[in-house]
């Protein structure tokens, strides 16, 4: 009699659930070698919620990558005073950053060179740094785009 009181899922409900899953979720699956990756398997056996664990690792990696940014630095002299300006770029890879920096240089080079023929353009990658005055500090060796 207890089983009769329990609600049963109809075929229509099952189809609706499956339709929602297809529209709103993605399944990610990979295999782990029992021998080669035994240390990973042992560690995973201690994790209760593996989905949350994997998502937290991925989000930490995303955050780490977002803390790095490419910049172009323009060093110039104006009426005998040295100035340095940094401009954040949209690029996420070094190759993209070089192309973006070169495009900016083409657009502004005539104006800058008219003010200071010795101005230099340098590309670098910075990382968030709470102790730096600008909030960013140099991460990579500068790339000269002159």
Res 10 pLDDT > 50? yes
pTM score of the predicted model: 0.47
Please name the residue ranges forming H helices in 8-93. 11-24, 38-44, 50-66
The pLDDT score that the predictor gives to residue 47 is 95
pLDDT in tens, 86-121: 788 888 888 888 898 889 888 888 888 888 888 888
The pLDDT score that the predictor gives to residue 4 is 56
The pLDDT score that the predictor gives to residue 40 is 94
pLDDT in tens, 17-62: 999 999 999 999 999 999 999 999 999 999 999 999 999 998 888 7
**Residue boundaries of the structural domains of the chain:** 11-65, 67-144
Res 66 pLDDT > 70? no
Question: Are the CB atoms for 125 and 84 separated by under 8 Å?
Answer: no
The pLDDT score that the predictor gives to residue 46 is 96
Between these two residues, 74 and 18, which has the higher pLDDT value?
Answer: 18
Res 1 pLDDT > 50? no
What is the full DSSP assignment across 81-128? Answer: EEEEEEEE---SSHHHHHHHHHHHHHHHHHHHHHH-TT-EEEEEEEEE
10-19, 63-72, 137-146: which is most confident: 10-19
Average pLDDT over residues 67-75: 78
The pLDDT score that the predictor gives to residue 133 is 56
């Amino acid at each position: 009699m207890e089983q009769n009181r329990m609600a049963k899922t109809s075929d229509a409900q099952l189809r609706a659930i499956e339709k929602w899953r297809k529209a709103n979720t993605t399944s990610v699956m990979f295999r782990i070698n029992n021998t080669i990756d035994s240390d990973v398997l042992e560690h995973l056996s201690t994790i209760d919620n593996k989905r949350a664990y994997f998502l937290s690792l991925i989000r930490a990696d995303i955050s780490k990558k977002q803390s790095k940014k490419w910049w172009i630095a323009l060093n110039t002299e104006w009426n005998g005073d040295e100035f340095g300006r940094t401009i954040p770029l949209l690029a996420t890879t070094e190759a993209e950053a070089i192309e973006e920096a070169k495009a900016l240089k083409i657009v502004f080079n005539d104006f800058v060179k008219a003010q200071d023929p010795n101005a230099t353009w340098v590309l670098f990658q910075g990382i968030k740094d709470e102790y730096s005055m600008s909030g960013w500090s140099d991460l990579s060796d500068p790339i000269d785009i002159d």
